[in-house]
């Protein structure tokens, strides 16, 4: 094996020795470590239409499930703090606690309305526009003492809402994320009684606010209270979606269901992150190969994966410096796809001399050190040579930076003088 003479002229002091020792460890890790190889089959599979569609679907499913889980958790936390029924997307899931609605039907003003809710039944209440509530509707509300006082202090008149009035559902932004109105929250915190009964009468006060008289289907008499519209949590929903929410609520009430609600989004997020990390790692290895001139930017795998587009500006200029004269324009089109190529060419002409030349020297230095390592030279000798040459290059970079600043000052000064003369 041929010997290599290393000419080193360094001031032997503690600070230099520390730098050499640090560089020795760094170079040893760099050249002694076996770098991962690019898995071209993996990247080819990533670019297939099927994988792209599956990746997009996975991302969408992850976003949807994560969003729903966040809303469900938020609604549960808010309801626990405010002692209000949990609300999700304008729906509240409740459980019948008394027998006041056990009768199969109730007759109001000669009209029979279905009822029949047993103790322990799960029901779904949906946020509603109270202006469309009418006799016979089954509503959940807070019977709150403040309502009684408030009602007796205002003028009122009974009104008749047509039986064919279409119920209008109305969900506020807060209710969508689990928040009830401030009046309902206040009633819940002050031990207001959450009740589920039929409407028997509708009233309107002098301010246009609606009040409701109610009665349970199994009760012989109407309730003693009058309920203001702001105390109404919602109207009974017997839709299929409501039944689906009941099942979801039952599942969430179990330990397994709650764990699934947390684990599934976390698993999907981790899966998505691992997939993205694996792809980014492969692309970064290709990018490193290009910078070290082990690949060309015009290689099919580089073009297919748009390696040039993802590089930062500094790396782009390094790669552009490596291109042959007949490849310059093609390289520019691969590196800058956003229409900034003309400016890129201008900057390249300036930077080639002052910025890119030192980068080229550093690349050559790394190659020389790697060659010395492969030839069996000691890390101490390699580190000394590396430290000396890098110091010289860095000093040259500082000189170039000063030169660039002076050039910019002269340009600005010339522009200022021209503007003054005009």
3-state secondary structure of 329: helix
pLDDT by residue for the chain (422 residues), tens only, comes to 444 444 444 444 456 777 888 878 777 776 665 555 777 777 777 777 787 787 788 778 778 777 777 777 776 777 777 777 777 777 888 888 899 999 999 999 889 999 999 998 888 888 899 999 999 999 999 887 776 666 667 777 888 888 888 888 888 777 777 778 788 888 888 888 889 999 999 999 888 889 999 999 999 899 888 888 988 999 998 777 777 776 776 676 667 776 777 777 778 778 878 888 888 888 888 888 888 778 888 888 888 888 888 888 778 877 877 788 788 788 888 887 666 665 655 565 556 656 667 777 887 888 888 888 888 888 888 888 888 888 888 888 788 778 777 877 777 777 665 555 54
Mention every residue, 6+ apart, whose C-beta is less than 8 A from residue 230.
181, 183, 184, 209
Q: How many residues does the chain have?
A: 422
Are the C-beta atoms of 119 and 218 separated by less than 8 Å?
Answer: no
Q: Which residues pair with 139 in a beta bridge?
A: 197, 235
| Secondary element (H or E) of residue 252 | helix 240-253
pLDDT at 173: 78
pLDDT at 385: 87
pTM summary value = 0.52
pLDDT at 41: 76
Six-digit token string for 160: 């008749």
- Sign of the Cα pseudo-torsion (143, 146, 149, 151, in order): negative
pLDDT at 136: 92
Cα–Cα distance measured from residue 339 to residue 369, given in angstroms and rounded to the nearest whole number: 39
DSSP per residue over 14-54, as a string? HHHHHHHHHHHHHHHHHHHS-PPPP-HHHHHHHTSHHHHHH
pLDDT at 353: 59
Beta strands in 160-294 (DSSP E): 193-205, 210-215, 226-228, 232-236
**Torsion, CA 87, CA 93, CA 98, CA 103, rounded to 10:** 120
Mention every residue, 6+ apart, whose C-beta is less than 8 A from residue 390.
23, 362, 365
pLDDT at 243: 73
Residue closest to 196 by CA, chosen among 132, 88, 122, 248: 122
DSSP 191: T
- Every domain of the chain and the residues it spans: 14-39+277-417, 86-239
User: Which residue bears the tokens 């050190």?
Assistant: 369
Cα–chain-centroid distance for residue 167? 36
């Amino acid at each position: 094996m041929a010997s290599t003479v290393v000419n080193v002229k360094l001031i032997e002091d503690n600070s230099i020795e520390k730098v050499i020792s640090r560089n020795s460890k760094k170079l040893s890790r760099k050249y002694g470590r076996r770098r991962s190889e690019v898995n071209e089959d993996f990247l080819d599979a990533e670019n297939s239409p099927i994988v792209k569609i599956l990746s997009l679907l996975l991302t969408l499913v992850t976003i949807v499930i994560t969003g729903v889980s966040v809303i469900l958790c938020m609604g549960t936390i808010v309801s626990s703090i405010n002692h209000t029924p949990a609300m999700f997307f304008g729906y509240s899931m409740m459980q019948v606690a008394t027998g006041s609605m056990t009768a199969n039907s109730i007759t109001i003003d000669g009209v029979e309305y279905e009822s029949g809710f047993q103790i322990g039944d799960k029901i779904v209440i949906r946020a509603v526009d109270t202006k469309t509530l009418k006799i016979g509707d089954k509503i959940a509300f807070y019977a709150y003492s403040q309502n009684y006082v408030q009602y007796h202090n205002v003028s009122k008149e009974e009104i008749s809402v047509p039986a064919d009035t279409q119920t209008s559902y109305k969900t506020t932004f807060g209710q969508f994320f689990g928040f009830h109105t401030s009046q309902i929250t206040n009633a819940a915190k002050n031990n207001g009684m959450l009740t589920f009964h039929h409407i028997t009468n509708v009233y309107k006060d002098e301010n246009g606010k609606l009040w409701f008289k109610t009665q349970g289907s199994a009760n012989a008499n109407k309730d003693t209270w009058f309920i203001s519209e702001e105390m109404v949590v919602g109207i009974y929903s017997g839709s299929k979606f409501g039944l689906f929410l009941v099942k979801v609520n039952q599942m969430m009430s179990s330990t397994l269901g709650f764990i699934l609600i947390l684990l599934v989004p976390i698993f999907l997020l981790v899966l998505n992150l691992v997939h993205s990390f694996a792809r980014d790692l492969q692309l970064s290895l290709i990018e490193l190969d290009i910078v070290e001139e082990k690949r060309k930017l015009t290689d099919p795998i580089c073009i297919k994966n748009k390696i040039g587009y993802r590089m930062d500006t500094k790396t782009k200029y390094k790669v552009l410096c490596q291109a042959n004269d007949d490849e310059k324009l093609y390289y520019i089109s691969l590196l800058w796809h956003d229409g900034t190529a003309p400016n890129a060419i201008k900057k390249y002409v300036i930077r080639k001399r002052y910025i890119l030349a030192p980068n080229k020297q550093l690349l050559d230095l790394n190659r020389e050190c790697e060659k010395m390592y492969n030839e069996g030279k000691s890390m101490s000798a390699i580190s000394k040579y590396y430290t000396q040459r890098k110091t010289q290059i860095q000093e040259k970079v500082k000189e170039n930076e000063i030169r660039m600043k002076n050039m910019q000052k002269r340009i600005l000064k010339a522009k200022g003088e021209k503007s003054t003369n005009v």
